[in-house]
Chain A
């Protein structure tokens, strides 16, 4: 398993998520009219995740993490294109449901990839490798959050989502590249 490529792709997608997250909150806040709608939007996200976990878990065993992560990155790249043009609370609910599903895909793929790697290599230092993984994804995520703080003075909210879309697409390309390399 090409751990470094996996790590790179994960870092890019987590950074993309960090870039948009605060603006996504603002965006929902603007579309929604009340805290109850805000609650529903996040509730639907989590509920959708909950419902999809068992199914996605089985998928991970059947098709492998890489395919799941491809689904996640390209799915998120498309969802990011929907957000700037979403109007009305029902569009937000739909996007939250989609993202709830994709979020579950990402969580499952990430965890099963990490544990599969540990299992295959018969690592005895599982904690250490998980620490290493989280270190680098978090470092990239932190960098993305800080840089975005500066970017927002120059970019509109719309462009932030398009930027995140590119980042997800790039993560997808990185993952697809790995398959080719493995095929070689």
Chain B
């Protein structure tokens, strides 16, 4: 019958349809072969061995908040680690926790918070997976524990040839610098043992200042004062105070830690109508940007004196930033600049951006201590990290426009001995990558030695190798 013919036709076409993968940047939708949820180390081992035998390609995904296709590759199988999410071992007395790599920070927090323990280094939000965070060598508001690299006691790695090995500072130590910050090109992190610390009660300290005063303030009032444990700052992108006005937030150890119990409960996302609406206005107009900056600043300055636990500082809200608009997206770009060069760099950025039609919504500033353990380290010295939230169109023309501006900003950072962060859209040129990450060629060369069949791939590798 006619219906039967149509049915067969439909199923045939349906089976041939590609699956598209896309990350938080939404600029690189890519047809992939399939998505496979990870379940056991044994099955993962089997997939990797089979990929080696049959010229298969694999990519590894967590929450996919990287924005440059680091989690997928055309025609490759994407291994979804979100389902590989059990807490394997927890030793509160030794302050150690062993988790499968698909576990989120939020899951760990829920487990350890009742025992008065907290994470050492994470992002400002707790929504990310541990494996993804290690692969991107993330950093956050903590200013005392150094890099996330230091918080890893050991991990088990499924290598590109399908061996499961333990990696630590004593066992197979040569793998660690390439796995952390290696965007899963050196295999799959199966499970990780992380060092924890005490949960602490902080009192929020806020201050408004001009951008010129910030580096000296940071050195004297923040870094030198051991009681300040965590820190962040924002610089204005509103027209009237563009790159001049700033406010800082310090998390200072509260004098009375007995109050911790009262504040221990983990925060949840609250009603987000107001910040969402304000951020919405700021996307569309200069007036909106002015309003957003004023209200956000006043709100934050008002929080001075409030108490908050370490765990809660590490799980701030993110839902209000979710953005859905046809043909537009919001991407991040992050620049690192040596502490001593901050003022001159900000002046350069201001000059670049004043000339451009560039919808910049927010800049958050944090501190990263010098740490060159990872092969692709970005902290060649003590740096400020400036995270830029950019609203842009998804068309080729708009991507080109943003590329031009971002490349100018990266150049400005490189001139002053700075760098940029790799997990975002690949706006940087190959030359810029090599300047910012002098070890990159060594990283790719070693990858080809340990992964001769190029089983583990992603768009970052495709773009820059």
Residues of A within 8 A of B (CB): 32-37, 74, 77-78, 81-82, 84-85, 87, 158, 162, 165, 169
Contact = CB atoms under 8 A, between A and B. Distances in A.
A83 to B, nearest CB: 9
A35 B325 CA distance: 8
A183 B294 CA distance: 79
27 contacts: A32-B326, A33-B324, A33-B325, A33-B327, A34-B324, A34-B325, A34-B326, A35-B324, A36-B326, A37-B326, A74-B3, A78-B3, A78-B6, A81-B6, A81-B9, A81-B10, A82-B10, A84-B10, A85-B10, A85-B13, A85-B14, A85-B17, A87-B17, A162-B10, A162-B11, A165-B7, A169-B3
Contact of A81 (B7, B324, B325, B326): B7
B9 to A, nearest CB: 8
A82 B17 CA distance: 13
B361 to A, nearest CB: 19
Interface of B: 3, 6-7, 9-11, 13-14, 17, 324-327
Contacts of B7: 81, 162, 165
Nearest to B10: A81
Given A74-B3, A78-B3, A169-B3, A84 B326 contact: no
Contacts of A37: 326
A88 to B, nearest CB: 12
Given A33-B325, A81-B10, 6 more contacts: A34-B325, A37-B326, A77-B3, A81-B9, A87-B17, A169-B3
Contacts of B326: 32-34, 36-37
B3 A84 contact: no
| Main SS class of interface, A | helix
B58 to A, nearest CB: 22
> Taking each of A77, A81, A158, which has the highest tally of chain B beta carbons within 10 Å of its own beta carbon?
A81
Contact of B14 (A32, A74, A78, A158): A158
Nearest to A166: B7
A84 to B, nearest CB: 5
Nearest to A30: B20
A74 B13 CA distance: 20
Contacts of B325: 33-34
A77 B10 CA distance: 12
Nearest to A74: B3
Closest 5 CB pairs of A and B: A81-B10, A34-B326, A33-B326, A85-B13, A84-B14
Contacts of A78: 3, 6
A84 B11 CA distance: 8
A33 B327 CA distance: 8
A84 B15 CA distance: 10
B339 to A, nearest CB: 41
Contacts of B324: 33-35
Contacts of B10: 81-82, 84-85, 162
A62 B13 CA distance: 38
Contacts of A87: 17
A34 B394 CA distance: 13
A43 to B, nearest CB: 15
A169 to B, nearest CB: 6
